Amino acid sequence: MECSTCGAQRKGNSAFCVSCGELFAKESEDREQLSVCRHCSKTINSDAKFCGGCGGEQGEDVLPANGESGKKKRINKKTAAALIIPFLFVSAGAGTYYYVSDYYSSPAYLASFHEAVEAADKEYFVEASSNSLADRHAEALIDYFDDDADLFADFERESLEVLAGGEYVSQWPVHVKPGADKFYFFQDHELEYQPYEIHITGTHAGTEVYLNGQDMGVLDSASTRIELVNLPYENFVIDIIYDGAEGAYEEQYELNAAEWDGYFYEIHSEYQGEFITLSAEEMGSSLYVNNEYVGTYEGEELEYGPVAFDGSMEVYGEWETLWGTERSAPQVITAEETHYQAEFDTDEEALRDLMFDAVNDHASQYIEAYNQLDESKFTMVHTSYEDEYFDRVEKNFADQRSEGWFYTGELTSVVLDEGSFNLIETGDSYAGEIDVEMNFYSGYHKEGRSRGTAGKSNSSAQWTYHVIYEDDTWWIAGQEEIEDWKPESVEERIY
């Protein structure tokens, strides 16, 4: 016999359709005497004023049960289940109810959970989880509970308290939660997996990240991050590796999820790059890296970084001298060197020119001093030569005063023998020699007579000057008269 509502076959002598809950008519009943409730579609007697199912009042236009007078409404599944399941429990008896109740109880669910752990049943966890759970997560859960019986017991105890209305106070990789209703009477359960996350940032583009030996990607810049999500509960080994233009760096993090405060962990790689130290051959030198001023060398090394080792960075120094700015040869920064010193190739020609200037200035001071009988005009005599030199000058001045004859004259030219120039390095400084001829137009006048009465004539003197370079200045440190003046090549300065 088919159900007049849904068409399902009748099961044995069941009074109700097991599919939709429709009441089957008795075999002896005339189908023409049956009608359908206008409210709930239940089969009722044609002359019934009220529906025995929903209690709805019936009007004159009740629908015949054979469906010829109109289209019958179908009972929805919820309504059907609400009708049939209570009937089944009533029919089966209280024992069946309590059996099913026990089957869906929280202790029973946790018992099945326990059995799945003991049986290492991965499929149980994959199917029971309300969110996506892969085999590796299930394996991690089984290992987690199977390794520690006391911990497993604590989890089961706390889960029972939560299902009874409490809250989780421990951090578990999985939670047992109330699920959907079963048969309108029983509370089902479900597992909610708690995934773990690790976020990683760094300071250098090109930093590689590995999780348990597996490549997780590369940080494109200092502002990007790699997010490792949906991780199973386990111990994590994070390797962070940088090997690029700014050096090589590697660090490792061993993480135990049980020690986290929550389910999230953040790592920031603090690699700051490689640093170098700088110094200079000359005190007061300015040091530069790729034209960027780093500092002035005052005796202590300067630190600079981070630096690149790809050949793109150079270090050099500048030293301000009386003859100009000396720049050291640039040095390319490489991974093989951590210290760089700016070394200056002193310009010999510049030092020679300064020496010529110093001797020439001394000759000019000679004329001024003798015209005025004033030894203070000599300002370029080295301290090591002062006593000897000024003793001789003062004696000359004293002789002029005692004899009553006074010098008057002018410097006409200074001739420097370039071939005699000799530059000598003396540790941190220099010494030198140069042969010089001084030409004068001069004479002597009697005391009390004007300078114009002096009988002037041209004269010359040839000297070998010894000089010392100190405090960025050439000083006269000695002189010897030349008996046989034979210059090789000359530079003449005319006055």
Q: Is the dihedral of CA 213, 219, 222, 227 positive or negative?
A: negative
Helix axes 135-146 and 149-163, enclosed angle (nearest 10): 110
Torsion of CA 363, 364, 369, 375, to 10 degrees: -60
Give the model's pLDDT for residue 234. 78
Distance CA 315, CA 309 (A): 12
Distance CA 176, CA 469 (A): 90
DSSP labels, 156-187: HHHHHHHHTT----S--SEEEEEEEEETTTEE
Give 465-495 pLDDT, tens digit per residue: 999 998 889 999 999 999 999 998 889 988 7
Instruction: Please give the structure tokens belonging to residue 376.
Output: 């203070």
Task: In the chain, list all ranges with CATH 2.60.40.
Answer: 196-268, 274-345
Least confident of 28-32, 151-155, 226-230, 396-400: 28-32
Instruction: Say yes or no: domain 196-268 is CATH 1.10.1760.
Output: no
Give me the CATH topology for the region 274-345. Immunoglobulin-like (2.60.40)
Mean pLDDT along residues 274-280: 93
Mean pLDDT along residues 138-153: 89
Distance CA 400, CA 454 (A): 14
pLDDT at position 5 over 90 = no
How many Å separate Cα 269 from the centre of its chain?
A: 6
Q: What is the pTM (predicted TM-score) of this model?
A: 0.42
Instruction: Say yes or no: domain 349-494 is CATH 1.10.340.30.
Output: no
Task: In the chain, list all ranges with CATH 3.10.450.240.
Answer: 349-494
Mean pLDDT along residues 294-316: 92
Query: Which of 340, 338, 316 is closest to 328 using CA atoms?
Result: 316
Instruction: Write down the H helix ranges in 404-458.
Output: none
- DSSP letter at 88? H
pLDDT at position 69 over 70 = no
pLDDT at position 328 over 90 = yes
Give 459 or 27, the one with higher predicted confidence: 459
